[in-house]
Amino acid sequence: MKRWAKILLLIFLILIIALGAAGVRMFGLRTFIGPRKRDLTNRTFQSTPARLERGKYIATSMGCFYCHSPHDWSKRDHPIPNGMEGSGQQLPYTDLPGRIIAPNITPDKDSGAGNWSDDALARAIREGIGHDDRTMFPIMPYPHYRTMSDEDLASVVVYLRSLPAVRNPLPQTEIIFPVKYFMRNAPKPITSPVPQPDLSDPVKRGAFLVNLVGCADCHTPVDNHHNPIAGMDFGGGQILAVPWGNAASANITPDPSGTPYYDEALFIKTMRTGVVGGVRELNSAMPWMVLRNMTDQDLGAIFAYLKTLKPVAHRVDNSLPPTLCPLDGTMHGGGDQNRKLGV
């Protein structure tokens, strides 16, 4: 080979290596080599009355059935048709990167989880790897469920096993390119025991629950790449694309532009009814119809934690026409009433 050809080949190889390194740095190694995952084990979870009761509470109050069941979207509280709890659905949100199916998690052997092992369910719930080794799109909140204790996880699996089997064939999830590769970075194996969290006071209990149900996922505004905007945690304004029309999430910090008028009793009643002060209805994008299943103790703890949040000055008002907000760059009600610091 001539010398100039060798030099060109060397330059080409250096460019390939540089581009590969840049790609890994920008998109993550797992984008290219696949997700981290552990092998399934033969562990099983013994069914007990305590686990059945606890698993039912978690499944009904943390949103499992809300995603994994069909709904009558024409009604305000989005009821699940009788006998269809846990039978799966195609998620109806209009801004998803493809067709995302919340699978049938009843014990039906043909269309549901009847042939999945206990550990396959456990791995999917907390680690984001499906029974068939696929990467799960993180709208399934496994990054939050990682904090769920081993005992609570066992309770959920035991309860799901107790559900009536419902046949409900569904298509496969299909994520668009390149998101289907980027999301490979999300799963993380759990190989050590996860103990019960410290719930010794209401604020600690509330912090745990707020993370578990993913309040910040909707109530924190995001940039064009869907990354949370720094310094605006729980400050609202994220546009939620739902079948009945877009809505902006509320500012739930104690700032005067947020929810300083709530006391515990009003907060609990609002979560139970979906109505603020008996007058203003919450948009159904806010899953009050799930949170209403929580105990007063848990809802009170969530309220106690929210009162400790750093105040964020951000006016969001869905009753007003959408206008451009300089703080989050989106169009939402009251957007033009916000100002950047120093402006």
Sequence letter at residue 158: V
The greatest distance separating any two alpha carbons of the chain, rounded to the nearest whole angstrom, comes to 84
Contact 53, 36 (CB under 8 A): no
Tell me the DSSP string of 261-323: T--HHHHHHHHHHSEETTTEEPPTTS-HHHHTTS-HHHHHHHHHHHTTSPP------TTSPEE
**pTM of the predicted model as reported, rounded to 2 decimal places:** 0.91
Q: What is the pLDDT of residues 133-173, one digit of tens each?
A: 999 999 999 999 999 999 999 999 999 999 999 999 999 99
Handedness of CA 172, 175, 177, 179 (dihedral sign): negative
Handedness of CA 304, 306, 309, 312 (dihedral sign): negative
Q: Per-residue pLDDT for 3 more than 70?
A: no
Three-class SS state of 43: coil
Could you tell me which residues are beta bridge partners of residue 90? Answer: 101
Which residue carries 């680690």 as its tokens? 127
Buried b (16+ CB within 10 A) or exposed e, 170-192: beebebeeeebbbbbbbbbebee
pLDDT band at 26 (very low <50, low <70, confident <90, very high): low
Q: Per-residue pLDDT for 23 more than 60?
A: no
Q: What is the pLDDT of residues 288-342, one digit of tens each?
A: 999 999 999 999 999 999 999 999 999 999 999 999 999 999 999 999 999 986 6
Contact 144, 212 (CB under 8 A): yes
Q: What is the pLDDT of residues 41-73, one digit of tens each?
A: 999 999 999 999 999 999 999 999 999 999 999
